[in-house]
Chains A and B, each alone.
Chain A
Amino acid sequence: MAYSFPEEVLEYVLSFIKSDKDRNAVSLVCKSWYEIERWCRRRVFIGNCYAVSPMIMIRRFPEIRSVEIKGKPHFADFNLVPEGWGGYLYPWVVAMSRAYPMLEEIRLKRMVVSDECLEMIAKSFKNFRVLVMSSCEGFSTDGLASIAANCRNLRELDLRESEVEDLSGHWLSHFPDTCTSLVSLNIACLGSEVCFSSLERLVSRCTNLRTLQLNRTVPLEKLPNLLCRAPQLVELGCKKLKALSGFWDVVPAYLPAIYPVCSGLTSLNLSYANIQSPDIIKLVSQCQNLQRLWVLDYIEDSGLDVLASCCKNLEELRVFPSDPYELEPNVSLTEQGLVSVSEGCPKLQSVLFFCRRMSNAALFTIARNSPNLIRFRLCIIEAQAPDYLTQEPLDAGFGAIVENCRELRRLSLSGFLTDRVFEYIGKHAKKLEMLSIAFAGDGDMGLHHVLSGCDSLRKLEIRDSPFGDKALLANAAKLETMRSLWMSSCSVSYGACKLLGQKLRRLNVEVIDERGTPESRPESCPIEKIYIYRTLSGPRYDTPDFIWTMDEEGNTPLGIA
């Protein structure tokens, strides 16, 4: 029997559909759904600030309340993206300040945010609530001061991992006395001392404050004072505390102080804590409900063993190196620690693990023990290190990971790898969305396997691997289905880039070469870096002079003039 979907209630139905992917699918059902969806979309996520222009966004979604924008490629975290690359927030704020006076949330990642931007944000959006800047740069505490002074309803200010020019610690005092709405404040990345009395007053009047992440200049002995001012935080500390982080200069003697709250902890971040294995072990063994642990390699294999036996609900583990530049291992952390965690923690989903040696056998075991892995990022500190037992490449080990972990969405490779591993990845990693490759492969076949095999691949980043034109050109159409491709120090020639620019008009093909215009070299000469991304708004207008966008004639715009 024929019936139709009642469109008059679609808006209600859509209010229960939150994920961007589902909203996108809805908008492509038919014309009327497209229209209804675009008018009731309140949240938009832009994975690449050059993939659309602010005008396109505003025209398509006139009633946005919350915006999340990402700027620079992920490899910027590894200093591979040159200074001045772009990713400016300014045009977005200018456009949004006119179009979205009711905007409430801005979440940014790897964007360049000027003080002027922050000032405009502070003054344009009357009901502004949430500002999250993750790994952003270009602003100072002056900008933060104008946010503090003008955003009356601010609930969340989070500067996680941003580079802030620290002009003064007094910006906190710009929060007016009427500001009581803060729920979350993260200023852990600031370098200079904050004005403690302002902080104290702020904390005591914001009765809803739940998360407070301070920088290391707030001395430990003053913390009790602060906590006294904020009974709700103390209460959290006693009973409901869920996440604990910080511990800048924590002295082992202080640790027993947090033992009482440990059993309630679900998230523990010790990635800045200089405490040694025995103390970590004591701490971790108290935290039986832990779901997420970030820790330095001081935890050592013995600590990971304890973790595996105590924390049965562990979902995410990140182990960072305490001294990555030291050639000789300074702690006894090996693949065995990760193996025992995979054995002991059946709910393990996400792993980021820095270590100094790895074996295929260990990877086999991990793959067998943790079939539910969604993110697996393994970083063996020494580049191209083979299986330390057999001196074989780690192909088979990573192959086992992609074969057994069917839900794997993010994978970072390291160690000695040949094209064979990419064959496995292309064959098995059907849900893989992001892949990071460094110092791996033998030649074009490797990249070809990945591009032709991984159906869900959205982001691919490659450095220092011998992949070149053949694989790229053969799978050019695949690039249009992906968000972005980054290749640096690979074997892609300038000629191939030109060709890609001609063939794929929905992509921006940007050659990044700090040696000067690639026109001055033969076309077959490999370029330094290439960043290719899907876009609706055409070539960007703010390219610095070391970036050349390949247009449809295979020329750069400057080349014509």
Chain B
Amino acid sequence: MWKPSRNVCKKIKEIMLSVKLILKLSSLLVLSNNQLQKPLLEMFFILFSLNSLRLEELVLYVDYDLKFLGAVRKVWWPLGRLRKKLYCNAVCHDHRSAARVMSSPSTISPFASATHLYHTFIFSYIALSSLNTFRFLSSNIVQHCTVFILREMKSYIWLQTTDGSIQQVEQEVAMFCPMICQEVLQTGMGSSKNYAIKLPPRVNPAVLGLILEYCRFHQLPGHSDKELKTYDEKFIRLDTQGLCQLISAADSLKLRSLVDLTSRALARIIEGKTPEEIRETFHIPDDLTEEEKLEPLRNVTGDPRIRLLNRLYERKRKDLKEREKIKKADVAEELIDKRSVDDLLSFINGGDSDPKRVTTSKKKKKNRRQNDQPRNITSNSENENHGKALDSLKSESHNGQMQDVSSSIQASVMQDSPSATVLSNFDEEYVDEEMDPAVMEEIDREVEDFARRINSVWSERQGNERRRLPVFIHGDSFVARYTG
């Protein structure tokens, strides 16, 4: 047999008190939706049947299934003295449908056609807003109607957090979370300790407490906007960690209003901070490399020209990094020395600093070129071939066959060129780690030459186009470049 919990007993006591007042009732109308716990309803009927000796009529509007009604009937034997018994299985999810049921002639006719009118006790656990329904009832159908509304009759939902702890929560509070509401309506879970609703892992007991507090306030109707606002402002005064846990839990319970509230608070924390400060605030490790922070010119369209530039760009960035290292060292030095700005200027301009370093490296390059003279001549002539090949590439690429053409170009270049390795590398993004540095440098130079050559041919073409079509230069070359 079902054993009522302490809370339910308390509730029943309250009901009993009101029942005593209505012992003289001769008619009872029960309106209920599934928010009323079945055991409680059973118990209520038992108590009622023992006490309401004068009851002659019962009208029942509930949305439980018939099987349950059968179970209820079993405990109704004391009601045998009812002159009229009426079971009505109407589904009333809200007050509107209840009103509809009540107003349809077929359901009310037995009641309305009664020759004598009884005092009627209406026990409702529909929504609080169902008052309208009763007003409707009292005005149109029941002329002498004693309306008792047992408001706020608490029922409970059982919730279980991932640590295994189970707690019971007032139904209307718990049902404020869409995820729990959904669970109750779809699976019928949560009605007892054994069927507790298992909450998502992101909801730990501490956060659940916080969320229920929020729900408890917000499910109550009638708060003014200002009240809501001040409550929210107070509620959200949490540290960053608290906010993070709260938003995560609220998200898993699909409690969108709380997600928004917390999002806004987190956004305020993020605003005005540098990436570094954000990382510190939320303990996020920095996994972006310097290279990634510098947006690369990655190849998207298969344009070989961009591929070449990419390759160059990559190298440039490496250079730049090295330079920055050197620069940093320079800065460190500068911090110590106390020379005047003029001195520094002359140091930078005329001394052994950046510009000079550039020129020395240039010299080195020149020297190397001289050493490589014989090879260079051959590669130069090859480069010219490349140039021609590329010319044809471009004219074809205007027809939008970029992919095919670029692969065929590669093939043709591979056949007669010692720099084939270079070209085969273009497809893979940057594979130069394992290569011999000397070879790499040479390749780089060749790539650079190649790129410049294409560039110049390209800009020549552009120049021509510009002269021909003053307005569409931009467009034309652009379309050609990105339609492929």
A contact set with B: CB distance below 8 Å = 1-6, 8-9, 12-17, 19, 22, 25-26, 28-31, 33-34, 52, 55-56, 59-60, 88, 90-91, 94-95, 114, 116, 444-445, 448, 452, 469-471, 473-474, 476-477, 499, 502-503, 505-506, 536-538, 541-542, 544-545, 552, 557-558, 560-561
Chain B hits for A25, CB < 8 A: 270, 273-275, 278
Chain A neighbourhood of B93, CB < 8 A: none
Candidates B282, B288, B300, B456; contact of A59 at CB < 8 Å: B300
Question: Which chain A positions have C-beta within 8 A of B458?
Answer: 541
Residues of chain B in range 264-302 having any CB-CB distance to chain A below 8 Å: 264, 266-267, 270-275, 278-279, 282-288, 292-295, 297-298, 300-301
Per DSSP, are chain B's interface residues mostly helix, strand or loop, or mixed?
helix
| CB pair A88 B298 closer than 8 Å | no
Residue in B closest to A8 when the chains form the complex, CB atoms: B251
B347 to chain A, nearest CB (A): 9
B456 CB contact (under 8 Å) in A16, A90, A95, A561: A561
Stretch touching chain A among B73-81, B172-180, B394-402, B474-482: B474-482
Chain A positions within 8 Å of B345 at CB level: 444, 448, 470-471, 474
Given contacts A13-B263, A28-B293, A55-B300, 13 further A-B contacts (CB under 8 A): A3-B241, A3-B245, A6-B247, A16-B264, A29-B288, A59-B298, A90-B475, A91-B474, A94-B478, A94-B479, A95-B478, A538-B309, A557-B459
Q: A201 CA to B393 CA in the complex, in Å? A: 55
Which residue on A lies nearest to B282, using beta carbons?
A5
Q: Which residue from chain A places its CB closest to the CB of B313 in the assembled complex?
A: A538
Contacts of B248 in A (CB 8 A): 6, 8-9
| Cross-interface CB contact of A448 among B245, B286, B341, cutoff 8 Å | B341
Interface membership of chain B positions 444-463, coded 1 if the CB is closer than 8 angstroms to chain A and 0 otherwise: 00000000100111111011
Instruction: Check if B478 sits within 8 Å of A13, measured CB to CB.
Output: no
B341 lies within 8 A of A30 (CB):
no
Interface residues of B in 111-127 (CB under 8 A from A): none
Which of B259, B282, B295, B455 is the one whose CB lies under 8 Å from A9? Answer: B259
Q: Which residues of A contact B245 (CB under 8 A)?
A: 3
Instruction: Give the residues in chain A near B244, CB-CB below 8 Å.
Output: 3-6
Shortest CB distance B212–A (Å): 20
Q: Is the CB of B320 within 8 A of A506?
A: yes
Q: Is the CB of A116 within 8 A of B475?
A: yes
Provide the bound-state CA to CA distance between A502 and B266, in Å.
44
Q: How many B residues touch the partner, as a band?
A: 35 or more
* Minimum distance in angstroms from B285 CB to a CB of chain A: 7
Chain A neighbourhood of B84, CB < 8 A: none
Closest B residue to A557 using CB positions: B459
Contact in complex: A6, B202 (CB < 8 Å): yes
Query: What is the CB-to-nearest-CB distance from B140 to chain A, in angstroms, rounded to a whole number?
Result: 43
- Measured in the bound complex, the distance between the Cα atoms of B300 and A62 in whole Å is 14
Q: Offer 11 A-B interface pairs, CB within 8 angstroms, sorted by A.
A: A9-B259, A9-B263, A12-B263, A25-B278, A31-B292, A91-B474, A91-B475, A94-B478, A116-B471, A536-B297, A558-B463
In the complex the two chains form, what is the Cα distance from A369 to B161 in whole Å? 61
- A-binding residues in B (CB < 8 A): 202, 241, 244-245, 247-248, 251, 259-260, 262-264, 266-267, 270-275, 278-279, 282-288, 292-295, 297-298, 300-301, 309, 313, 316, 319-320, 327, 341, 344-345, 348-349, 354-355, 358, 452, 455-460, 462-463, 466, 471-475, 477-479, 482
The answer on a CB contact under 8 Å between A5 and B272 is no
Checking B287, B471, B482 against A95 with a beta-carbon cut-off of 8 angstroms, the contacting residue is: B482
**Cβ–Cβ < 8 Å partners of B259 in chain A:** 9, 12
Q: Judging by beta carbons under 8 Å apart, are B284 and A5 in contact?
A: yes
A-chain residues with CB within 8 Å of residue B319 when the two chains form the complex: 505
A13 touches B474 (CB 8 A): no
Q: Which residue of B lies closest to A469 (CB)?
A: B349
CB proximity of A364 to chain B, nearest CB, Å: 28
Once the chains bind, are A26 and B263 in contact (CB under 8 Å)? no
Minimum CB distance partner of B358 in chain A:
A502
| Whole-angstrom CA separation of A545 from B466 in the bound complex | 10
State how many angstroms separate the Cβ of A452 from the closest Cβ of chain B. 8
Q: Chain A residues near B460 (CB, 8 Å)?
A: 561
Contacts of A34 in B (CB 8 A): 288, 292
Whether A538 contacts B275 by the Cβ 8 Å rule is: no
**Please, which residues of chain B bring their CB within 8 A of the CB of A477?**
327
Residues of A within 8 A of B278 (CB): 25-26, 29
How close is A449's CB to chain B, nearest CB, in angstroms?
9
Are A561 and B459 closer than 8 Å at their CB atoms?
yes
Query: CA A338 – CA B143 in complex, angstroms?
Result: 81
Note all chain B residues with C-beta closer than 8 A to A52. Answer: 295
Q: How many angstroms from the CA of A95 to the CA of B482 in the assembled complex? A: 8
Closest CB in chain B relative to A123 CB, distance in Å: 15
Which chain A residue has the least Cβ–Cβ distance from B273?
A25
Report the bound CA distance from A50 to B307 in whole Å: 20
Task: Find the residue from A13, A471, A477, A499 having the highest chain B CB count within 10 A.
Answer: A13
Which residues does chain B contribute within 8 Å of A95, judged by CB atoms? 478, 482
Measured in the bound complex, the distance between the Cα atoms of B353 and A474 in whole Å is 11
